[in-house]
Structure 1
Amino acid sequence: MSTSTMPRPGISAPASPLKRRRSARGGGFASSFTVNALLILGCAYMVLPVVWLLFASTKNTADLYGTAAYAFGQPAFFDNVAAVLNQDGGVFLRWMANSMFYAAFGAVFGGLISVMAGYAFDKFQFRGRDSFFGIVLVGVLIPNTATVLPMYLLASVFGITNTVWAILIPVLCNPFGVYLARVYSAAYVPAETLEAARVDGAGPIRSFFSLGLPMMMPGYVTIALFQFVGVWNNFMLPLVMLQDQKLLPVSVGISIWQGYALPQPEFTPMVITGSLLSILPLLVAFILLQRFWKSGLTAGSVK
């Protein structure tokens, strides 16, 4: 009498290790290809405009409209730079100095205020702490352009429109910097270290400047750099607040030249070359401050 085994329904034989490795390899290749493709697209989106500026800054007015976009024109780069620097008695250098002053002030003092506020929200216990921090988070969600008109009305009440204070005071407030500083404080400043300093007789202010701020220095530099870039690229606030061309930042000044370019095409190479020169301080700032971000991996460690 012969017996035969029937396969059980719904139960399949397990895949061999070779098939599993091939399946994992295929899925890994697809995900890696997708991620790399998205990274390449993102890099192209950010780098290609800068590359175009490099090519376009070497062209005169005729070459801008008569040659390919990513092709060098006649050697007119130094002529364009000279035209930018000599226009209106060198007002471009004044605009660059104004932008540097506004951005540096906002980065140093605005970043410090953000770090102090984030540290206080994280380490201090006081009534309404969570409610106040919730208001800060709401401030993160509000775009800067929506606050320009209210700030202009406040500045006009205090009589500081068309002055540097109309730009310097608003840049001291950075809700996103406060949020980021609280995250850095929670991650890099151990409560045990502050408790030991309190036992040794250090007050809250001394503990912050002697222990908290050095441990949060990578976060401070990161917040300051974000603030520097934000103030440097700020357009709406100085456009509304300032009327004196000697007080304008470079972003607004170049937009004025761009308005001149339609009736006077010779301003077009100046706008392009000025835009290229205006991003050089940002590149220098990023290159010089990279080491502080790397040190953030070991900042705040307790030995």
Structure 2
Amino acid sequence: MTEPATLGRRPRSRQRASALLSRTGVTAMLGLAALYTLLPLLWLVLSATKSRQDLFATNGFAPGRHFALLDNLGHLFQVDDGIYLRWLLNTVLYAGLGALLATAFSVAAGYAFDKLAFPGKERVFGLVLLGVMVPGTALAIPLYLIAAQVGLVNTFWGVFLPGLVYPFGVYLARVFSASYVPDEVLEAARMDGAGEIRTFCRIAFPMLTPAFVTIFLFQFTQIWNSFFLPLVMLSDQRLFPVNLGLYEWYSSALSQGHPQDYLLAIVGSLVSVAPLVVLFLMLQRFWKSGLTAGAVK
């Protein structure tokens, strides 16, 4: 009588051990991912507190012996007549205005693909999905050649206009539209005499606010971190985004023997991260709700 009961307990103990091992493994993987993400940021913060001498004479994860963050920030914003502030303003225009317009176009296009019927809709949407699979670096040279033909090389528009096209945002907007906007509500608005544009602006768009914020964050981060396209397109330092300017300082430190540029690149990198952190904290409520779109229908 005791043997069957013992046999019945063994599978349960094995299941508990397996579940514990699984949780431990997942926790360890998440811990490693957190370290991989946070350690470079920690190094950046600590290095920004050092003087030029401390940067090369102390441990990378030790703070500066003389807290020099304020001095480093002052030097960062004054060097070359405040060129870093200009790079920062350029990046805000490229990423902020570009992401805002790209998101508006993406949400409108995704809504149209989901709710409207027109000839060749699925084939056109297939081209959008094809654009999702093409990496941005593969398009940099073709974009440069096109810009050269129309005179946009080394101009603000040569970097700004490509950021308005966001195929992945169109795909996300269609998914959001299918999850957030009921067809019955749109039919009721049309029966009341609302046209398609008014129905989208007054009925559908407010429902797609989480989608708008989510797509905006993705595109803003993508443009803010863009490097290869500005590198190919721009040669005027006054038009550089932050990433390209920091690359110039780092290259100067390596090739021309200017060790002070190492510290400029480090402090500038820390400052360039701050707007992304602030933006995510401000919009995280909409972002979290947007990421769950489509999970429950």
2-side partners of 1:298 and 1:276: how far apart? 31
Match of 1:6 in 2: none
Q: Describe the SS at the equivalent of 1:160.
A: coil
TM superposition shift of 1:293: 2.6
Identity of aligned residues (%): 48
The Cα of 1:266 is off from its aligned counterpart by 1.2
State the match for 1:293 in structure 2: 287
**2:269 match:** 275
Task: Please say if residues 154 and 234 of structure 2, whose CA atoms lie closer than 8 Å, have aligned partners that are also in contact.
Answer: yes
Partner of 1:214: 206
In the superposition, relative to structure 1, how do residues 133 and 299 fare at CA in structure 2: closer, same or farther (>3 Å)?
A: closer
Query: Counterparts of 1:1-303 in structure 2 under 5 Å?
Result: 16-73=7-64, 74-262=66-254, 263-296=257-290
Aligned CA distance change for structure 1 residues 96 and 298 (closer, same or farther; 3 Å): closer
Indicate the RMSD between aligned Cα atoms, in angstroms: 1.8
Give the structure 2 partner of residue 8 of structure 1.
none
Cα deviation digits, residues 256-300 of structure 1 (max 9, x gap): 011111211111111100100011000000000012134448989
Q: What amino acid is the match of 2:168?
A: F
Which protein has the larger Cα radius of gyration, Structure 1 or Structure 2?
Answer: 1
Q: TM-score, normalised by structure 2?
A: 0.93
Instruction: Return 5+ residue gaps in structure 2 as ranges.
Output: none
Instruction: Report the CA distance between 1:60 and its aligned residue.
Output: 1.8
Do 1:91 and 1:246's aligned partners in 2 also have CA atoms closer than 8 Å?
yes
- How far residue 17 of structure 1 moved from its aligned partner, in angstroms, is 4.5
Q: CA deviation at 1:62?
A: 2.0
Aligned-pair CA distance for 1:19: 2.6
Query: How far apart, in 2, do the equivalents of 1:43 and 1:211 lie?
Result: 41
CA distance in 2, matches of 1:61, 1:17: 68
Task: Output the CA distance in 1 between the equivalents of 2:135 and 2:13.
Answer: 49
Retained in 1: the 8 A contact 2:179–2:293? Answer: no
- Amino acid aligned to 1:61: R
The answer to whether the 8 A contact 2:225-2:243 is kept is yes
Give the superposition deviation at 1:18: 3.1
Q: What is the alpha-carbon distance in structure 2 between the residues aligned to residue 50 and residue 155 of structure 1?
A: 36
Give the secondary-structure state (helix, strand or coil) at the position aligned to 1:169: helix
Paired letter, 1:268: Y
The CA distance in 2 between the partners of 1:195 and 1:30, in whole Å, is: 52
Normalising to structure 1: TM-score of the pair?
Answer: 0.91
Q: Distance in 2 between matches of 1:166 and 1:15?
A: 74
CA distance in 1, matches of 2:292, 2:47: 43
Cα contact 1:215–1:299 (8 A) shared by 2: no
Counterparts of 1:202 and 1:136 in 2: how far apart (Å)? Answer: 29
- Is the 1:216–1:299 contact (alpha carbons within 8 Å) kept by the matching residues of 2? no
Which is richer in helix? 2
1:65 is aligned with what amino acid?
Answer: F
* Distance apart, 1:195 and its partner CA: 0.6
Do 1:261 and 1:268's aligned partners in 2 also have CA atoms closer than 8 Å?
Answer: yes
- What is the match of residue 3 of structure 1? none
- Runs of 4+, deviation exceeding 2 Å: 12-21, 293-300
Q: CA deviation at 1:211?
A: 1.2
Is the contact made by 2:214 and 2:291 (CA closer than 8 Å) also made in structure 1? no
Distance 1:221 1:14 in 2: 56
Q: What is the deviation of 1:158?
A: 1.0
